[in-house]
Structure 1
Amino acid sequence: MDGDQLKTLIVFGALLLSTPLYAAQLNLELGEDSRTWQTEELLKHPQIQTITIANDVSYKRDMTYRAVPLAALLTGIKSDDHLQAVASDGFAAELAAAPLLASAGSRAWLAIEDPANPWPPRSEGTHSAGPFYLVWTDPRAGNISPEQWPFELASIKRLAPVAQRFPALLPDPALKADDPVNKGFALFQKNCLACHRLNGAGDAQFGPDLNIPYNPTEYIGADFLKRYIRDPQSLRQWPQARMPGFTTEVLPDEDLESLVGYLKHMAGRKVKP
């Protein structure tokens, strides 16, 4: 290698080191308003700002992000639409559009990881929550569940509601509309369906099916199942456990009863995939 070649190589290497790489992209599958956003584009979005999230769900501490109001990206979406946020690990959060479009109270933001200033790992041996992460300011105002904070976000899709897409999840139609089992079904969609399927129904590729071959109410007593939902590590401890605990603030005792009631009800409505 002569001197000129060496100089060229050094200059090229310096450019690589000084120029951040923007390889990540977020796919918004919204029908006619579908588009793909690159990290670099989002970091230059006119509505981007710095926000601080108190007691971040993924990091368990206060975090500061560069973020865009999610509503600014959901072009053409109406409050009665239904969306699904899919992470790269198979987590698939089912989300009503109305809270995502809100500009007051609980507000949804798309946090964008800058390759020049990467976020820390979520915990030892894990990746960061990036490249994209759906976070909320004032989550208590809207009773936002931990399952509504998908990290490593890859896409957001407009879809038909869960009940239309997956009839195998439906409770007995003979039940009255105000039956606690129907309330439990709504809670299951909000808190469980992002990780779990039931009767083979659902889009999540993350956790086990909760009815096939056995429903947890068939092999765990109700008191222990409730304890497990509240604090999984209090019953089963292992380093790679990823199920979050659901506090009484997120899932009040009455709601927990309804959720377990739905699971018990569905044990009698098995549909093999």
Structure 2
Amino acid sequence: MRQALLALLFCLTPLHAAELTLELPGGTRTWDTVALLAHPKAQNVTIADDVSYKKTMAYRAVPLAALLEGVTPDQHLQAVALDGFAAELGAAPLLATQGARAWLAIEDPDEPWPPLARGKPSAGPFYLVWTNPRAGNIGPEQWPFQVARIRYLPAVAERFPALLPAADAGAEVQAGFAQFQKNCLACHRLNGAGDAQFGPDLNIPHNPTEYLAGDFLPRYIRDPQSLRRWPEGKMPGFSKDVLSDAELGQLIGYLRHMAGRKVAP
């Protein structure tokens, strides 16, 4: 569904007219493709093991920190894609100038990027990519493509109290809540809470821990197609490099905990 919608949006939006809106504490600014390609800090970057293309890619890109005027490391941002994918991003990694470093890749209309798959659009016109992502434990949900807007928002816990574990929940459940924010919230809502527009809710009407017994839920998260072979399925698998066994256990513990905290949307 996501790729089909992206293809339609790609056809309806001329690449040369692409715009990126930044809604930051100091105000709102819109950049277009031409201005970003001409940015004084734009440079060529090589991304090894690109998350979306699954190979090494080269881009013309601007350090994202150069665009985030007035943003401080303690703040929170959200990158919204054309299809409603909403990546929740702490500002500190985006502002870093060493280790894992965030870049806004800009698709040049004269040198378009390849499609993500046969019959699909590219990752452009704007794509958040990372150099040395392992240094910052950057996960695949922190690589949003087809980005249309980056905005400053209060933290997830403040915006969506329906996502919060009980006050007396243990450290493992709290850690699972952090994993949920990092790996799931960009696509899914829970208790109707969240900004993503296309993933199913993970608690209403039923939590996956209620209908995937035994080891089926961990297996599904690791490799969705191993349980439900569906050519149009878009959920990626989360390998141990992305989500360790301990972190996966924390995430499932949070989901199991929230099954007892259903809130009608």
Give yes or no for TM over 0.5.
Answer: yes
Which TM class, normalised by the smaller chain length?
over 0.9
Counterpart mapping for 1:76-91 below 5 A: 76-91=70-85
Which of the residues 21, 25, 32 maps onto 2:26?
32
Which of the residues 163, 173, 192 maps onto 1:200?
192
Which of the residues 237, 240, 245 maps onto 1:248?
240
Which of the residues 60, 70, 74 maps onto 1:66?
60
Where 1:22 maps in the other structure, the secondary structure is helix
Counterpart mapping for 1:50-61 below 5 A: 50-61=44-55
Rounded to whole Å, the distance in 2 between the matches of 1:126 and 1:268 is 40
Q: CA deviation at 1:40?
A: 0.3
Which of the residues 203, 208, 224 maps onto 1:211?
203
Q: Which residue of 2 aligns with 1:93?
A: 87
> Is the aligned partner of 1:145 residue 2:134?
no
Q: CA deviation at 1:165?
A: 0.4
Rounded to whole Å, the distance in 2 between the matches of 1:190 and 1:204 is 13
Q: CA deviation at 1:222?
A: 4.3
Say how many residue pairs are matched: 252
Which of the residues 195, 209, 215 maps onto 1:223?
215
Over 4 Å off, 4+ runs? none
> Is the aligned partner of 1:162 residue 2:156?
yes
Indicate the larger mover: 26-35 or 142-151.
26-35
CA contact (8 A) 1:146 1:244 kept: no
AA at the equivalent of 1:207: G
Superposed CA offset, 1:5-58 (max 9, x none): xxxxxxxxxxxxxxx962000000003232000000000000111111111100
> Is the aligned partner of 1:270 residue 2:253?
no
Q: CA deviation at 1:264?
A: 0.4
Rounded to whole Å, the distance in 1 between the matches of 2:84 and 2:109 is 23
AA at the equivalent of 1:216: P
Rounded to whole Å, the distance in 2 between the matches of 1:222 and 1:172 is 25
Runs of 5+ unmatched residues, structure 2: 1-13
Q: Which residue of 1 aligns with 2:4?
A: none
Indicate the larger mover: 28-37 or 101-110.
28-37
CA contact (8 A) 1:33 1:75 kept: no
Rounded to whole Å, the distance in 2 between the matches of 1:61 and 1:55 is 5
> Is the aligned partner of 1:108 residue 2:92?
no
AA at the equivalent of 2:33: T
Rounded to whole Å, the distance in 1 between the matches of 2:114 and 2:222 is 27
> Is the aligned partner of 1:238 residue 2:238?
no
Where 1:173 maps in the other structure, the secondary structure is coil
Which of the residues 44, 47, 58 maps onto 2:41?
47
Report the structure number with the largest CA radius of gyration.
1
TM-score (norm 2): 0.93
Indicate the larger mover: 233-242 or 186-195.
233-242
Q: Which residue of 2 aligns with 1:12?
A: none
Percent identity over the alignment is 70
AA at the equivalent of 1:128: S
TM-score (norm 1): 0.90
Which of the residues 107, 127, 131 maps onto 2:125?
131
Q: CA deviation at 1:246?
A: 1.0
Superposed CA offset, 1:99-120 (max 9, x none): 0000111100000001111111
Runs of 5+ unmatched residues, structure 1: 1-19
